[in-house]
Structures are given as C-alpha cells and as structure tokens.
Structure 1
Amino acid sequence: MNPIAQELNNTIKQAAPHVYEMLSDMGKNLFFPEGILTQSAEAKLKAHRINATIGIARQGSCVLSLPSVTKYITEIEPDNYLSYASSFGLLELREKWLKELYVKNPSLGGTAVSLPVVTSGITHGVSILSDMWVNANDVIVMPDMMWGNYNMIFCVRNSARFVTYKSYDDALTHFNIDDFERVIREQAAHNDKIITILNFPHNPTGYTLSREEATRVAQILIDVAQKGTNVVAACDDAYFGLFFEEETSKESLFAKLAGKASRLLAVKLDGPTKEDYVMGFRTGFTTYGVAADANLDRVYRVLEKKTAGCIRGNISNCSHLSQTILVKSMEDANYKILKQEKFDLLKSRATAIKEVLKDPKYAEGFDVYPFNSGYFVCIRVKGVNAESLRRHLLDNYGTGLISIGEDNLRVAFSCLEEKDVKTLFDIILSGINDLR
C-alpha cells in the first residue's frame, strides 16, 4: 500500500475506526498523490524566475488559447476556464455550496460536515461512492423501483448485490416504510456492513417522503447502526428542492443522518444539474457526514483527499468552465428569484397532472403512483404490457414514454407542456383500450 494511503488510513482508524471498516478495498488504497501536483504547487510559490512544471500551454502570463474558442466566452478570462481545475474542485464553489447546504437544510445547523468535493455530475459522484465504499458481494438495499443506471454502477462495475424492498403499498397510497425496515433489519442481522441509497425526490416515481416518513427512515438506520452494523447511507439528492406539496419533507435525509452514530456514514450526492437546470455542465458534489471520537476535521480532510484521489485517477479533474460559471451564477443578485421562477413552472405542471388525473375515467386503465416532487410521475397500467403499450403509443400516436418492468410507465413532466397534460393521459388511456 502506498505510504500516503497508509497515513490517511491511520488517521481514520484512530478517530473513526468504523468509517475505516466501511471503506472498500479500493477506498483504503486511495490517496491524493503528492508528486507532480506538490512540486507544481511549490514552484508556484517559489519559482519567481522560471516555472516549467505544469502541463498547461502558456504564452506570457496567460494560458494559450484559440480565438475560435474564446470569442464565445466574453465575460470570463481564459485563465479562469481553460486551465485545469483542482481535482477537489474550485475552492470558492465548494465553499459556496457548503454554505447553501446549511441554508437548504436548517436542521443540519450545528453538525460539522466535510467540504463538498466537486464531481463530474451526480452520476460520477455515485460512481465514486461505489469505488470508495463498495466491495464485491456487498449488500445494497434498494427500492424495487429505481434508476436503471444504479445497476450498471454498483453491480456491473463493482459486483455488489441488490436486495430490494417494495417501494409502495399495494394500493399505491404511500411509501412502504414497513418493508424498508424489514429488509434493512434482515440484512443488518446477516452482514457486518449494509449500504442503502436514499433517492428523494425519487426517480422514477417523483415521490419524496413526508416529514414523518423521513424521521422514521432516519431512526431505523440510526438504530441499526447503534446496534452494531456499519451503515453507509447515500442520499442521491439529484432533484433536491423540487418539493411541491406542504407535507413533503423539504430537507435531505442527510441532515437527519450526518454525525448521528459512529457506525453510520452519511454521504450526500447532489449538484446544480437539476437544482440550477444545468444538465450539460456535468457538475456535482460529494459531501460526508460522520461521527468521530476526535479530530473530526482531520477525518473529513482524509475523506476529501481520498475522493479527490479517486477523481485524479479517473478523469483528473472536472470542467473548469462549468465551475466558474456556477460561481458567477450563485453570486448573481437575481439567482434565487430566477430559480423560483423555474420551480413555479414545474410545480404548475405537477399540479395540472394531479387535477387531470382526478377524473375517474383514468382508473379504468391505470393506477397512479404517489408523486409530489421532482421530474416524474409513474403509472401502473392494467391489463396490458407496459413495453407493448410504450411501442404502441410511439408507433400509432407519436407519443414517447419510458416503460419500467411489465406494468409501469414513466412520464417526465419536466419536459411536458402544461397544455398537453390532458391530451397525453387521454392518449395513454386510448392506447390501453386499443391493446385490450
């Protein structure tokens, strides 16, 4: 093992031994290299005459650039987007995002968490989570309805095992906490470590837990950890903030889990992708919340270094341009007003769907999964195969939806104009009747 990795591991072992136990084999071996990066940093401070350390093309005092590129970006200097960003991400952006975490999650106040590390989108953050915390055959407790890419990231890449719970009750009225608890406790009884992904607002159903449900989910995981099982609880908050109903919990489960038990590691995976509507920027964040006997700040620095090392050994660093634009956007005087306008637009679409689906005629063709947030609503079709229906709607009605399993269709109202809501569900009902 590299001596730097060993030194990092020793810090975690001393202050948070259970966190060290939860690291995957790769996670234990990860470190942030000193070599070229350290020598370049030293040269930046001391090489006042000639600095020939960094693999960045320069001319005079500026980064070398092509006018055919820079002419499109007129308000940012080339040095602020064409040079490499740190593998940790821009410090200014990380600090701004951390500050916003406490604003968005008031109950997190008083709990120390790590400084977010910038990832290339939330999917990249999920992949880093898998590399750092998942070994082959590790158990990951998942809902039976989940984002399909989780399988590629956890099972195909890292050979994890999914154990699923039923997402909703049979009547599709509420999240099935009882089955969540049953599976969590069963797996905790048979494994030293369990992992679970908490994805709210949920993809594909667009559901977020109520305040009461969120409290109970957190209590279950804390209790399991306090009784001796190591728990990695990853909050995939890709659609965070898009909460459309009063009773919906407006905070991340991360706020209820961070720092609550020595055997509980809380990981927050989020970013501006959906929160700030910059899907193509590919910028996300990974933030940790742990309990340590001492030296909590040092534990966080170690986890940040291991995360940055994982990035360094994979994609090197994330887009400098995206990060710079995001810093400027967050500093804009109208930032929160502009975000509220987009939120109101999406909420209006969700409300329109709720109103349209009150018509009892639709119950003849499908049931609706609970939804109150995010981008999606799911329906469970009756008497027909979901994939056959999807193809029928595409071929005969020019209407595209996503089929999930044999019974479910996902509607992305994020890209559905409000005026088309009733038309869409009438088409779905017609397609079901056609196939019957």
Structure 2
Amino acid sequence: MNALALQLNEKMQNENPAIYDMLSDLGKNLYYPKGILSQSAEAGKKAHRFNATIGIATENGEPMHFRHIQDKLDYNPKDIYPYAAPQGKEELRLKWKEKLLVDNPSMQNKSIGTPIVTSALTHGLSIVADLFMNPGDVVITPEQYWGNYNTVFQIRRGGRVETFPLFNEKGGFHVEAFRESLVKQNEKAIVLLNFPNNPTGFTPSKEDAEAIVQVLKDVAASGTKLIVVLDDAYFGLFYEDSIKESLFGLLAEVHPNILPVKIDGATKENYVWGLRVGFITYAATPDVLDALEQKTKGIIRGTVSSGSHISQTIILESLKAAEFQTEKEEKFQIMKGRAVKTKQVLANEKFAPYWTYYPFNSGYFMCLKLNNVDAETLRNHLLDQYGVGVIASNKTDIRVAFSCVEESDIEELFDLILEGCKDLTK
C-alpha cells in the first residue's frame, strides 16, 4: 500500500476507527498523489518568473483559446479554459457550504467538511460506492428508488440493494419497516435515503425525520457501522407537510458509528441539468474529514480528473448574483403550483377505479399505483395512441413528472392517462 494511503488510514484509525472500518478495500488504498497537480499548485504560488508545469497552452499571459468561442462567452479566459482543481473551484466550494448552512439550520456548529465538486449527482454516488462498498456489501433504500442505484452499487461494485416499504398504512414514512431492515445487518451497511424521493415525490414529516434519526442512532449504538447517504438531488422543493432541510445536519455528530454523506448539486435545485455540477459533503471529526477529502480527490483524479471549469464558474456567478433568491423563489412557486394542481385533479372520483397514488409533497414527480393495468403496457399504449410519455417504474407504478408539464395542461394529461386505462380494461 502506498505510504500516503497508509498515512491517511492511520489518521482515520486514530480519530475514528469505525469510519476507517467502513472503507472498502479500494477506499483504504486511495490517496491523492503528490504528482503533477500538487507540483503545479506549488508553482502557481511561487513561480513568479516562468511556470512550465501544467499541460495547458498560454498566449499573451492568458490561456490560449479560439476567438470564435470566446466571442460568445462573457467570462474571463482564466475562469473557462484551464483545468479546475480535482476538488473544484475553492470559491465555489466555500459558497456552496455557505448556502448549506443557511438552508439547513441543523448543520450550524457541526464538524462538516467543505463540499467537494462532483460531475453532478451520479458521480457523487459513484464516489460513495468506490470508497465504501466491497462486493457483497448491502445498500438499504426504500422500495421506490431511482433505478440507476442498481448500476452504481450492484453492477459496478458488486453490492446488494435491499429495500423496505416506504409508506406505512397512514401514508407516512414506514419507520418500523426501516428499523426491521437495519437490525438485520451485522457489521456494516450503506443506508441511502432520497428526499424528495424519486420517483414518488415524498418527503417525511418532522416527526418521521426525528424517528428516522433515532432508528439510525439505535442501530449504530448496537455496533453496526452505518454510512448514511442523503441523496438530496431535489433539495429545497418542499411544498407542504414535510421537513424543510436535509437529514444530513440532524445526523452529523450523533454517533461515532454513523458517517453522514450529503450528495447534492445545482443540477436540479437550480435548473441547470446539463452543466453537471454536484457536490459531496461529509460530516466527521477534522482528521477524518481531511483523510476523506484526500481519498475523494484521489478517486476524482483517477476517473474524471476534474469537473468542467466553465460550469463551475457559471454556478458560482449565479450563487453570487443579486437576482438569485428572487428567481429561485419564482421557479419554486411555479413548481409548487403544478404539484398542488396535480393533487386537485387527482381528487376527482372518476380516477378511483383505475389507480390510487402514492403520497407526494415535494420534488419533480408523483407516482400512480395502477389497479388493473400493467404499467409497461399502459406506457406503450399512451405513447402509441395518445402521444403521452410517462415512466413505468415497475409492473404497477407509473411515474409522472409534473415538473415538465404546464399547470394549465395537467388536467388534460391525467384525462389522457385515464383514457388509456379505459382502453386496456374494456
């Protein structure tokens, strides 16, 4: 094992051996090499005469570039063309942390790392899998989950996804099913919670959130080591009857056997999907945070190397813009209006013979549970006969993204889905 990896591991073992034990074999071997990038960083500070270190081209004291590209952009060449650091632009990292502390009061005064920039949310999840999952390790997540988790954790890393019912009989978070799934685990588990949930659009209440935290504390106290991953892709889109912040802050520092990991980003929160800017943030003691950051930088350096510089620049300028909060609130109200309209439409009794729907109060989506029709059959029928696209999540569930349907069109959308169901049940 490389000496740098050994040093990081020793720091973790000295300060919190439980978190060291959570690491995968790959995670234990990871480190950030003192190679070209670190030498270039030193040169950037000290090489006042010539800096001949990093593999970019320069011209007239700035990064070389094509005029026909630069003429279309309103950013300084230094904030577009050079490589960003593997961990991301430092000012962006600090600005995102500042945002997290404002949005999540429970994070205040906790030992939380500076967010590390990822190439959006999936990359952050992939980092978690690399750092913490060995073949055969378990990921526990609700029955309604994003299908890409299978690729990230099972296909790539050989883990097992185990699920529990998301909803109890009252339509709240199924705390007892969650507890039952966790107490079966012995030494270690990755717990993956996604609120607002994709595909259902559900976020738990404050009381259920507190119960979730208590379950995790109880299981950790029994000796099970838990990597608790908060997939906060749709953070902030909380419309009614739910917590208004991430579980991450509530879990920070609650038990040495719990490592909270927050995966979030500007992609969906700020409606910039194609810019691919996400973040991964850890909550732990200082030396453990430093070791995890170095290992995470090592993964990034060995895979994507670094994220898009211009995307990070755009997000940073957006976060600093005077219009940011005003425009964000405007978009929130549009999204909330669509969610509320969806509930109003679905209250009509004419739909009852054909479906029920899962509780939803947040995010981009909601799900119909079909009574007598196969979801994939209905999906294809709606496309072929009505020009309507929906997602078949499994044999019974249809996911509908109200996020991309104008409020004035929502009633027609569900009427067409109803017609499709009627066609298939004649």
Q: TM-score range by the shorter chain?
A: over 0.9
Aligned to 1:69: 69
Secondary structure of residue in 1 paired with 2:421 = helix
Q: Output the CA distance in 2 between the equivalents of 1:46 and 1:410.
A: 55
Stretches of structure 1 that go unaligned for 5 or more consecutive residues are 291-295
Amino acid at match of 2:174: N
Q: CA deviation at 1:46?
A: 3.0
Secondary structure of residue in 2 paired with 1:225 = helix
Secondary structure of residue in 2 paired with 1:241 = coil
Aligned to 1:130: 129
Aligned to 1:159: 158
Secondary structure of residue in 1 paired with 2:156 = helix
Aligned to 1:259: 253
Aligned to 2:51: 51
Aligned to 2:38: 38
Among 213, 220, 226, the residue aligned to 1:225: 220
Secondary structure of residue in 1 paired with 2:134 = coil
Q: CA deviation at 1:255?
A: 1.1
Secondary structure of residue in 2 paired with 1:194 = strand
Q: Is the 8 A contact 1:114 1:289 kept in 2?
A: yes
Aligned to 2:194: 199
Q: Output the CA distance in 2 between the equivalents of 1:325 and 1:33.
A: 29
Q: Output the CA distance in 1 between the equivalents of 2:232 and 2:375.
A: 28
Secondary structure of residue in 1 paired with 2:352 = helix
For residues 61-140 of structure 1, what are the structure 2 equivalents within 5 Å? 61-74=61-74, 76-140=75-139
User: What whole-Å deviation, never above 9, does each CA across 1:26-52 have from its counterpart, x for those lacking one?
Assistant: 111111111212222232233333221
Among 166, 176, 179, the residue aligned to 2:177: 179
Secondary structure of residue in 2 paired with 1:270 = strand
Q: CA deviation at 1:172?
A: 7.2
Percent sequence identity over aligned pairs? 47
Q: Is the 8 A contact 2:379 2:389 kept in 1?
A: yes
Q: CA deviation at 1:227?
A: 1.6
Amino acid at match of 1:432: C
Amino acid at match of 1:216: A
Among 412, 418, 436, the residue aligned to 2:407: 418
Q: How many residues align?
A: 425
Aligned to 1:408: 397
Q: Output the CA distance in 2 between the equivalents of 1:433 and 1:302.
A: 58
Q: Output the CA distance in 2 between the equivalents of 1:25 and 1:182.
A: 28
Q: CA deviation at 1:297?
A: 1.9
- With structure 1 as the length reference, what TM-score do the two structures score? 0.96
Q: Output the CA distance in 2 between the equivalents of 1:52 and 1:231.
A: 46
- With structure 2 as the length reference, what TM-score do the two structures score? 0.98
Q: Output the CA distance in 1 between the equivalents of 2:399 and 2:141.
A: 19
- Aligned: 1:361 with 2:350: yes
Secondary structure of residue in 2 paired with 1:158 = coil
Q: CA deviation at 1:419?
A: 1.1
Q: CA deviation at 1:60?
A: 2.8
User: What whole-Å deviation, never above 9, does each CA across 1:254-294 have from its counterpart, x for those lacking one?
Assistant: 1111111111000000011111111011000000012xxxx
Q: Output the CA distance in 2 between the equivalents of 1:251 and 1:118.
A: 21
Q: Is the 8 A contact 2:107 2:250 kept in 1?
A: yes
Q: Output the CA distance in 2 between the equivalents of 1:107 and 1:176.
A: 23
* CA RMSD in angstroms, aligned pairs only: 1.1
Aligned to 1:381: 370
Q: Output the CA distance in 2 between the equivalents of 1:173 and 1:228.
A: 31
Stretches of structure 2 that go unaligned for 5 or more consecutive residues are none
